[in-house]
Amino acid sequence: MTTTSEPPSRAFPSEANRYCEILSLSDQACSSVRPLTVLLSTITTPLKQFERIHVGDTCDVMRDAVMRMQRDYCLVFASPDDGFPLGYVARKRLALELLTGSRPDVLRLVTIAPCLPISISVNEALRVLVRKQAQLGVLCDREGAAIGMCTREVLRCLAEDRL
Q: What CATH number should be reported for the domain holding residue 47?
A: 3.10.580.10
- Cα–Cα distance measured from residue 2 to residue 62, given in angstroms and rounded to the nearest whole number: 18
- State the average pLDDT over residues 138-155: 92
Asked, for residue 6, whether it belongs to a domain, the answer is no
Asked, for residue 122, whether it belongs to a domain, the answer is yes
Task: Domain count for the chain, please give it.
Answer: 1
Asked, for residue 135, whether it belongs to a domain, the answer is yes
Burial of 123 by CB count in 10 Å (0-12 exposed, 13-18 middle, 19+ buried)? middle
Asked, for residue 8, whether it belongs to a domain, the answer is no
Q: What is the pLDDT of residues 2-14, one digit of tens each?
A: 444 444 445 444 4
User: What's the confidence (pLDDT) of residue 21?
Assistant: 45
- State the average pLDDT over residues 66-74: 88
How far apart, in Å, are the Cα atoms of 46 and each of 137, 138, 140? 12, 10, 12
Asked, for residue 80, whether it belongs to a domain, the answer is yes
Asked, for residue 7, whether it belongs to a domain, the answer is no
Asked, for residue 60, whether it belongs to a domain, the answer is yes
- Torsion angle in degrees (nearest 10) through CA of 71, 75, 80, 86: -170
Q: What is the pLDDT of residues 110-124, one digit of tens each?
A: 999 999 999 999 999
Asked, for residue 39, whether it belongs to a domain, the answer is yes
Give the residue numbers spanning the domain of 149. 13-159
